[in-house]
Amino acid sequence: MSKLDASNFIYLDFYQDNVFEFILSQIYNCYNKMLNDYSSIENNENLIRNGLHKNYLENNQIREELQLIPYLFDTEVELYNEDDDSVKGRTDIKVYNAIERTKNTNSYYIIECKRIDGTNELNKKYVLNGINRFVENEKYPSYKKANGMIGFVVNPIDIEKNTKCFSDLKFHQFINDFKYSYVSNHKTTNSKDITLYHLMLDYSSKINISSN
């Protein structure tokens, strides 16, 4: 379990780092439940994310158990360009504080999900189609200067060694007994300083080999 206690944070500013760390730590706990519950998982980014969301982050019993009741999680939410009504992207997971949302529709975090298998191909996608969506032209907004990414590790690899391929990621432990959490700091093309949190979640023991 996380070493953070939700009761300390429910009434604090939604955008304090320790609140986001709490949310991510409970997503980690949902991941552990998923490993325990699933006999196999398809090697598909959307299906892994959908299972995490539908069966855990949207499960009211688990939300209460993990003290996530103040927070709402949506997937595949469209983001619009400021200059027109066109869609500039869709988020993997969008996180709201329910009360804060009624006061400010910009009040959310974005969590981008990407598969990791140790190959250069998926490592590049983690950067180009993940990190860069927050940094280059701020395709994904960081209203309070922090967002997150989850790497779904689908092959049995040396996660720590592979993560060194991402030079910006620095180890940052905020979950007990979990050694694959990181942060990276960036300056966007619009000269804003932002922080990205990264969790590398190992699903490799459950991946359906026939789906590789």
On whether the CB atoms of residues 43 and 154 are closer than 8 A, the answer is yes
Q: Is 83 helix (H, G, I), strand (E, B) or coil?
A: coil
Percentages (nearest 5) of helix, strand, coil residues in the chain: 35, 25, 40
Residue 127 predicted with pLDDT over 60? yes
CA distance 11 to 32: 27
The 10s digit of each residue's pLDDT in 11-57 is 334 445 789 999 999 999 999 999 999 999 999 999 999 999 999 99
Q: pLDDT band at 85, cuts 50/70/90?
A: low
**How many other β-carbons are positioned within 10 Å of the β-carbon of residue 24?**
23
Residue given tokens 């804060």 in the structure block: 100
CA distance 56 to 51: 8
**How many other β-carbons are positioned within 10 Å of the β-carbon of residue 79?**
15
Residue given tokens 């007994």 in the structure block: 177
On whether the CB atoms of residues 172 and 178 are closer than 8 A, the answer is no
DSSP H or E segment with residue 89? strand 87-91
Q: pLDDT band at 88, cuts 50/70/90?
A: low
pLDDT of residue 6: 41
Q: Is 94 helix (H, G, I), strand (E, B) or coil?
A: strand
Residue 78 predicted with pLDDT over 70? no
pLDDT averaged over every residue in the chain: 88
pLDDT of residue 177: 93
pTM: 0.88
pLDDT of residue 5: 43
pLDDT of residue 2: 41
7: left (phi over 0), alpha (psi -120 to 50) or beta: alpha
